[in-house]
Amino acid sequence: MIRRLALAATLALGAFDTAGAAEWHPYRHISQAPLGFWFVAVMVIGALLLFTYWAVERPVSGREASPSRKGYHALGALVLAMTVFTLLLYVVVAGRIDALGASDDAWAWSPGETLQDPGGSDMSGEPYRGYQVYRAEGCTYCHTMYVRPQDIATGWAPGATEADVSVPQDFANYPYTLLGTQRNGPDLSIIGRQIPDMSYQIAHLQNPRQFKPNSIMPRYDYMSQDDLQDLAAYLVSLGNDPRKLKAGTLDDADTATGSGGPSVPTDTDTPAAQGKKLYSSLGCVGCHSTDGARNVGPTFQGLYGHDVALESGETVTADDGYLTRAIRDPKADIVKGYPAVMPAAYGDMSDADLDALIAFIESLSDDSGSH
């Protein structure tokens, strides 16, 4: 019933819409607003400003005079029109966004669908139910779910590219949205692409400071195993093409290189500069810092040419051979004190990209020239 009314309102105001539904774009400039918007806005706001002027400036006989009864009624009708008009504007926008439908790679998980952990464990979970858990646990009060255009070059969205900037079609399959207004923690739009590993997500939910010593996130170790797995499945589903996830053919390098935008390296860059762009576009930045800070993985600062202690008890020197092995086959050598969660999919990158990335890591060591 309400939906029908909203649709009727949409059509009614849409009659003034000179741009036409086909050309309607979410970022449309204000100059392209429907004619009805301008008509009613100018009429109502103008009338109210006139009223204000009249009420303040009109001559009065006594010291205190108030509008007549007729004036009150006219005023009330005017304000009511303004309020209803405002709500209608929002309803129209909301209705038309709904009508846009979903894009091909939008999040699309129905109730009951399960996701097999792409990180290699035999766990699975229901992303849709995980999304309900996400709401119930209040995750949205510290984490947002959308990337703005201006986030790309800043610390708001490490690893995100122009292709990750949110559009309304991304959210079409959600019955309700949790975009969020506050970022006490990182945006989670592409968390599943950065760390597609349910074991890590669950371990991090249960004890965040195990991986990030300065994290201020609460522990979610009280949740049931079902809730944790569903929530982890939801996190893994974020930023990944649902078709690939369902088919079990997830390929991180593949999704990251389709990015476009300024992060894609060019041939004219030095290898280290190319590597720096890859560091951002491939999402390394999500787990490895360049300033010495401990993150999910070891920092890249001062890594090259120095000794690394492994879980196996051995110590190796971080040279070209070690770094190549660490990227091509992350499970081969596990650094002591860090979880074995690095995705294996980076192993598919080209030799040229790999060399550029190693050149970038090398450039972050002070004594890199001495090896």
Map the footprint of other proteins across residues 265-304, applying CB under 8 A: 289, 291, 293, 295
Contact 198, 114 (CB under 8 A): no
Diameter over CA atoms, the chain = 96
Report the alpha-carbon distance of residue 285 to residue 59 in Å, rounded.
68
What lies within 8 Å, CB to CB, of 164 at 6+ separation is 147, 152, 157, 189, 190, 239, 259
> In the bound complex, what is the minimum distance in angstroms from residue 185's beta carbon to other proteins?
6
Please pick, from the candidates 140, 199, 257, 301, the single residue that binds other proteins as defined by CB under 8 A: 140
Token pair of 165 as six digits:
């900037």
Q: Based on CB atoms, which residue is closest to other proteins, 185 or 347? A: 185
> In the bound complex, what is the minimum distance in angstroms from residue 277's beta carbon to other proteins?
14
Give the torsion sign (CA, 106, 112, 113, 115). Answer: positive
> In the bound complex, what is the minimum distance in angstroms from residue 35's beta carbon to other proteins?
12
Residue matched to tokens 């070059």:
153
Instruction: List binders of other proteins among 225-244 (CB under 8 A).
Output: 227
Contact 176, 140 (CB under 8 A): no
Q: Based on CB atoms, which residue is closest to other proteins, 172 or 327? A: 172
Please pick, from the candidates 6, 253, 272, 334, the single residue that binds other proteins as defined by CB under 8 A: 6
Q: Based on CB atoms, which residue is closest to other proteins, 220 or 346? A: 220
Q: Is 91 in the site for other proteins (CB under 8 A)?
A: yes
> In the bound complex, what is the minimum distance in angstroms from residue 259's beta carbon to other proteins?
18
Measured in residues, the chain has a length of 371
Residue matched to tokens 């229901």:
126
Instruction: List binders of other proteins among 158-197 (CB under 8 A).
Output: 158, 165-168, 171-179, 181-186
Q: Based on CB atoms, which residue is closest to other proteins, 33 or 272? A: 33
Please give the size of the binding site for other proteins, defined by CB under 8 A: 96
> In the bound complex, what is the minimum distance in angstroms from residue 64's beta carbon to other proteins?
6
Please pick, from the candidates 3, 59, 68, 247, the single residue that binds other proteins as defined by CB under 8 A: 3
Contact 327, 357 (CB under 8 A): yes
Please pick, from the candidates 62, 64, 68, 351, the single residue that binds other proteins as defined by CB under 8 A: 64
Token pair of 368 as six digits:
């890199």
Token pair of 333 as six digits:
């050598």
